Structure 1
């Protein structure tokens, strides 16, 4: 009996070891610091969506879309997140071996933030204002386009480049009339304003006509070619994690805080809730979660090409995406 028990234990150990060995390792590339807007990958790991698909996922830190694209192109990471506009520009100019496999933010997150009562009540009111921005944000690329939409140019305002952590204090203390930030930061800046006895006002650039795809799940072409089944399983797990974030934002935020304990669950929840309207909206209702509509993709490329002075006709935006990895709804 004891021998049979020992044999069963040994078999169980072998099965567990076999299961661990069978899990496919995937390096996930962040495009920025951890936070609520990055919640799906933490949910995928902490809630077991990745494990259920036989994946052992490691998160790699990043410092912007360009950095993420470069790492994926070099093969040091397998799949991750970046702005699809940055990806299309990189493919048009350098032919990088990276492809988008799922849309995440189907609406641009870019916005001006100002304070209630400042008289800066719409994007068109930016003329004559002092605006602070981070040197690294992709929003700077699109600033000339949104200004054009309201009949302005950068000469009509004073633009200050500042450290990202200084933007909120500059706005609260009156050193800037407005700042450039993403809608995913609405709760964070709103809390800063409340602490200063003020009220934040967000002016999304999408409301001024800047409609485009933004953050997307992108992958190394080598990863897609060599491990297509792993890629498909990852996209399936990631998409399920995005759905979980919508249905259970507090639990999703807890998953982020569990893996990155220095982040407070309350702040993460706010950032996630700020990000969800960029994922689930009228575009999602029309085309489905994660999809790339050909017309919207072409319009995004046209905006990117105009913003960066590229030949729009010289690149086909369809070559930047692969739709076959996305599961059917």
Structure 2
């Protein structure tokens, strides 16, 4: 079993104090978004997007890096942010609200919380206004285009977590020490989420039939309690959950184990800020503003983790500060691959750079793993136009 990285992650965490096991076990619960104004009409599935709004998927490459800023301030605009569950893996959008980054860019942000990254990306594709974004992934772009060629094409405008963020977590007292030990076990994951897609891939890579395990559909907010109370044997979610689980499990006399999917050679979904391509084409000033705000806020959260987490839990009431901070630090290393000390000396916009070679090398693996039939020109799935090369 591969645990070297997990041990390093846990060793790197600050020593944090617990404030009560019941509250700590629920750190992944989706807190109400008190500052968000949900849209009056819910976004339909991506398959319902009208065909006439869908340009072809073979758009010209858009990887040229821009070096100039808009000469005049952008006109105020309302943009919907679809979040795939309110999680400590992505506190930067909330920090951007609290720090006034959106306001300074003349963006009035409205937040709609959904259950899972894939649902959020589908909502962006289905948003009829086109003024919307999410912390999605290039994989989700490919899946939507492959399954519904009439859906509006999407594009990522700044990079996020470029490592595979998903992990399967378990209590070591359950007798799990290798993937083969999952046979006969019950695994919880929110169906329709990116984590669920990757669980299918992980099981297939390990030669484990889905008939040999029991998969329960449990929402992100209930995953940790389900594991800690013994309702299930393992859960699948983003790796940052290792942090909060590792605080609570010892109180129960147990230890958290995990299989980081990145360590099993499973291609990363390559997350980033995803918008409709027509927003980039028709309103490049808005696309630029979204890219710059989200990338600068990611840099802010990498360099000022405590202030970022304070902003996050202020907006999402009921979160425990120590656990959320621990989760964010794990996410920075395990999911984003960002060293805060190195980031402090970088141009903030450099954190949003997509490595063209990495994307070109990863796409064939994603197509194979997720049985994607459509062939893609990698340069149509992302742009480095609004960010800086490291």
TM-score w.r.t. length of structure 2: 0.69
Aligned to 2:232: 176
CA contact (8 A) 1:35 1:263 kept: no
> Superposed, which structure 2 residues align to 1:8-87 within 5 Å?
24-73=76-125, 74-76=127-129, 77-87=131-141
Aligned to 2:371: 309
CA contact (8 A) 1:250 1:269 kept: yes
Task: Provide the rounded CA distance (Å) in 2 between the counterparts of 1:135 and 1:192.
Answer: 25
Task: For residue 138 of structure 1, report the CA deviation from its aligned partner.
Answer: 1.4
Task: Provide the rounded CA distance (Å) in 1 between the counterparts of 2:201 and 2:246.
Answer: 26
Task: For residue 255 of structure 1, report the CA deviation from its aligned partner.
Answer: 0.9
Unaligned runs of at least 5 residues, structure 2: 1-72, 344-349
Aligned to 1:90: 144
Task: For residue 128 of structure 1, report the CA deviation from its aligned partner.
Answer: 4.3
Task: Provide the rounded CA distance (Å) in 2 between the counterparts of 1:179 and 1:22.
Answer: 44
Task: Provide the rounded CA distance (Å) in 1 between the counterparts of 2:201 and 2:119.
Answer: 24
Task: For residue 22 of structure 1, report the CA deviation from its aligned partner.
Answer: 6.3
Question: Deviations along 1:64-121, whole A, 9 cap, x unmatched?
Answer: 3343233322234422222321221112332433211122110111111111344422
Task: For residue 229 of structure 1, report the CA deviation from its aligned partner.
Answer: 1.9
CA contact (8 A) 2:133 2:273 kept: yes
Report the 3-state secondary structure (helix = DSSP H, G, I; strand = E; otherwise coil) of the residue aligned with 2:199: helix
CA contact (8 A) 2:168 2:234 kept: yes
Q: 1:322 and 2:322 equivalent?
A: no
> Superposed, which structure 2 residues align to 1:149-298 within 5 Å?
149-277=205-333, 278-281=335-338, 289-298=351-360
Task: For residue 195 of structure 1, report the CA deviation from its aligned partner.
Answer: 4.2
Task: For residue 254 of structure 1, report the CA deviation from its aligned partner.
Answer: 0.9
Task: For residue 125 of structure 1, report the CA deviation from its aligned partner.
Answer: 4.0
RMSD of Structure 2 on Structure 1 (CA): 2.8
Larger radius of gyration: 1
Task: Provide the rounded CA distance (Å) in 2 between the counterparts of 1:175 and 1:262.
Answer: 24
Task: Provide the rounded CA distance (Å) in 2 between the counterparts of 1:319 and 1:68.
Answer: 20
**Number of aligned pairs?**
305
CA contact (8 A) 1:144 1:153 kept: no
Structure 1 window deviating more from structure 2 (230-239 vs 114-123): it is: 114-123
Task: Provide the rounded CA distance (Å) in 1 between the counterparts of 2:292 and 2:241.
Answer: 27
TM-score w.r.t. length of structure 1: 0.80
Task: Provide the rounded CA distance (Å) in 2 between the counterparts of 1:59 and 1:166.
Answer: 22
Task: Provide the rounded CA distance (Å) in 1 between the counterparts of 2:299 and 2:320.
Answer: 22
Task: Describe the shift of the 1:66–1:114 C-alpha distance in structure 2 as closer, same or farther (beyond 3 A).
Answer: closer
